[in-house]
Amino acid sequence: MIEQLELTHAALEALEYEDGVLLWGGRKVTDIAADIGMTPFYAYDRARMTQRVAELRAALPKKMHLHYAMKANPMPSVVQHMVGLVDGLDIASEGEMHVALETGINPNDVSFAGPGKRNDELSAAIKAGITINMESETEMRRIAALGNALGRQPKVAIRVNPSFELKTAGMKMGGRPSQFGVDAERVPAMLDEVQQLGLHFRGFHVFSGSQNLRAEAIEESMDKTVELVLALAATTKLETTLVNLGGGLGIPYFPKERPLDLAALTPSTTRATERLMAGLGDVEIIMELGRYLVGESGIYVTRVIEVKESRGSYFAICDGGLHHHLSASGNFGQVIRKNYPVAAVLNTGAQKTVSIVGPLCTPLDLLGDRVTMSELAPGDLVVVLQSGAYGKTASPESFLSHPSCQEYFI
Ligand SMILES: *Cc1c(COP(=O)(O)O)cnc(C)c1O
């Protein structure tokens, strides 16, 4: 008997079929594949993004603004749709800046973070009037010099490397040496220099983690962040008009993970906004999110090329793999490889346990390890769920020189 690893996942149970064919965004996935004319591809369902933002807004205080962190999914149609739903964008490069500005967004609602911003990127951001989240004193001095050369006053915020750590996040930040942000203890001196250099100071940015599914951990981090921001703001005469509290809200990828309890965030976010407004007046308060807003709206679709039996185990060898979807292969920051939810597009009834692998010449190219699903044949389609964030652009697409994958916005 072949061991079955996959347990059930809420995202799999929620799937809908019509005539035995999986639907996404109200369409048969086989029809989407026929429209595109090739596999593999990603398909993003805009209605799910809209719904996600609405649920989040309902749980958060009105005063809390939402920004979309574009690196999660920078497809221009996705970004355009998100701009209609959220209050601003967070960019991480000049390339993302162009996509952001193409949407017609007010540059005042765009912030630019990243530890290694080149002078040409900084100049472009200064000219566009985007807020630069400064990650070091030396970057601050470059920004001031570039602003002088351009005859423009750069808009800046300080990204703070907090003295605490957000626990149980998928990725931890803060509390240790870091290439991100300015160590909290150095911020007061930096604020003096911001003033001397004549920069347009807007406020603080604290991003302390990602992929967090525990409301209590988010609450704790938010409380500490507010405390830190209030303490830092009290060390300067510069007015703080913006506080970006980060976010780090996660989505469930693996069978035992539970979705984040949004309602549990209402008291802590309400308390955070009240304390910030009591201390700083009418300040703009931002939560910036990537994965949480788009991650569950996307699927990755690949076609079976071969079904192979080897020593009693079955492998469905597909035309897509880690070169398009590194995170589903378990090689994008996961410590222990676990399966993303995967499913067959045709619900044929007959179940079989099979490993879903890609075409690359490496055993790392594994999308589903011993998963039970409808029996697959060459030509059939397989989907990977929870694929709307950190998919195509977070993958080494040129590895092995296969064709690049398509993206489809529904
Ligand atoms: C990547 C990133 C985000 C988005 O993180 P998610 O986990 O996708 O929500 C937000 N802010 C900054 C500064 C980032 O670098």
Could you write out the three-class secondary structure of 365-391? CEEEEEEEEECCCCCCEEEECCCCCCC
Q: What is the per-residue pLDDT for 176? A: 84
Q: Is 246 left (phi over 0), alpha (psi -120 to 50) or beta?
A: left
Model confidence, pTM? 0.95
Q: What atom in ligand 1 is closest to the CA of residue 291?
A: 8
Q: Specify whether 305 is located in the same domain as 280.
A: no
Q: Which residues contact 260 (CB under 8 A, 6 or more apart)?
A: 212, 213, 214, 215, 218, 249, 250, 251, 292
Q: Looking at the structure, do residues 191 and 138 belong to the same domain, yes or no?
A: yes
The verdict on the CB of residue 24 being under 6 Å from ligand 1 is no
> Domain total for the chain?
2
* Distance from the alpha carbon of residue 344 to the mean position of ligand 1, in angstroms: 31
Residue 277: Cβ within 10 Å count: 14
Residue 161 shares a structural domain with residue 262 = yes
> 138 with 238, same domain?
yes
Domain stops at, among 254, 289, 324: 289
Is 113 touching ligand 1 by the criterion CB < 6 Å?
yes
d(CA 396, CA 76): 20
Q: Cβ(56) to ligand 1 under 6 A?
A: no
**Averaged pLDDT, groups of 10, the chain, 410 residues long:** 62 95 98 98 98 97 97 98 98 98 98 97 98 98 98 98 67 75 96 98 90 90 94 97 94 91 94 97 97 98 98 98 97 89 94 97 96 96 98 97 96
Tell me the CATH number at 333: 2.40.37.10
Residue 52 domain-assigned?
Answer: no
Cα 394 to Cα 365: distance, rounded to the nearest angstrom: 15
Is residue 307 assigned to a domain? yes
Last residue of a domain, one of 260, 289, 318: 289
127 and 244: one domain? yes
Residue 111 Cβ < 6 Å to ligand 1 = no
CB 97 within 8 A of CB 125: yes
Together in a domain, 122 and 271? yes
Does some domain include residue 62?
Answer: no
Task: Check if 69 has its Cβ closer than 6 Å to any atom of ligand 1.
Answer: yes
Instruction: Tell how far the Cα of 16 is from the centroid of ligand 1, in angstroms.
Output: 30
- Check if 202 has its Cβ closer than 6 Å to any atom of ligand 1: no
CA distance 34 to 400: 26
Closest residue by Cα to atom 3, ligand 1, is 69
Residue 138: which CATH number? Answer: 3.20.20.10
Q: Dihedral (C-alpha) 83, 81, 251, 299: value to the nearest 10 degrees?
A: -160
Distance between CA 186 and CA 202 in Å, rounded?
Answer: 18
pLDDT at 167: 56
Domain boundary among 289, 305, 333: 289
155 with 250, same domain: the answer is yes
Task: List the alpha helices (DSSP H) in 200-264.
Answer: 215-233
Phi, psi of 199 (to 5 degrees): -80, 155
Spell out the residues 6+ positions from residue 32 whose beta carbon is closer than 8 angstroms to its own: 24, 41, 43, 301, 408, 410
Both 236 and 278 in a single domain? yes
Pick from 2, 79, 8, 1: nearest CA to 257: 8
Give yes or no for a contact between 399 and 359, defined as CB atoms under 8 angstroms apart. no
Of 266, 281, 270, 175, the C-alpha closest to 228 is: 175
61 inside domain: no
Q: Give the pLDDT of residue 333.
A: 85
User: Are residues 348 and 249 part of one domain?
Assistant: no
Query: What was the pLDDT predicted at 4?
Result: 53
Q: Whose CA is nearest to atom 5 of ligand 1?
A: 290
Distance 15 CA to ligand 1 centre (A): 28
- Write out pLDDT tens, residues 238-270: 999 999 999 899 999 998 899 999 999 999 999
Please name which of 175, 296, 190, 168 lies closest in space to residue 238, comparing C-alpha atoms: 190
- pLDDT tens for 112-159 read 999 999 999 999 999 999 999 999 999 999 999 999 999 999 999 999
One domain, residues 230 and 207: yes
Backbone angles phi, psi at 317, to 5 degrees: -95, 120
In a domain, 73, yes or no: no
Question: Is 278 among the domain residues?
Answer: yes
302 and 271 both lie in a single domain: no
Say if ligand 1 is within 6 A of residue 388 CB: no
Q: Which ligand 1 atom sits closest to the C-alpha of 293? A: 9
Rounded Cα distance between 61 and 115, Å, is 31
How many angstroms is it from 248 CA to the middle of ligand 1?
A: 7
Does any domain span residue 84?
no
pLDDT of residue 168: 46
Q: Assess whether the C-beta atom of 288 lies below 6 angstroms from ligand 1.
A: yes
Expressed as residue numbers, the domain containing 308 is 10-45+295-409
CA 90 to ligand 1 centroid distance, Å: 8
For residue 51, the CA-to-ligand 1 centroid distance in Å is 20
Instruction: Compute the mean pLDDT over every residue in the chain, rounded to the nearest whole number.
Output: 94
- Count other Cβ atoms within 10 Å, centred on residue 104: 8
Please choose from 66, 70, 90, 91 the residue to mutate so as to test ligand 1's pocket, defined by most ligand atoms within 8 A of CB. 90
Do 301 and 269 belong to one domain?
no
Decide if 87 is inside a domain.
no
Instruction: Give the pLDDT score at 22.
Output: 98
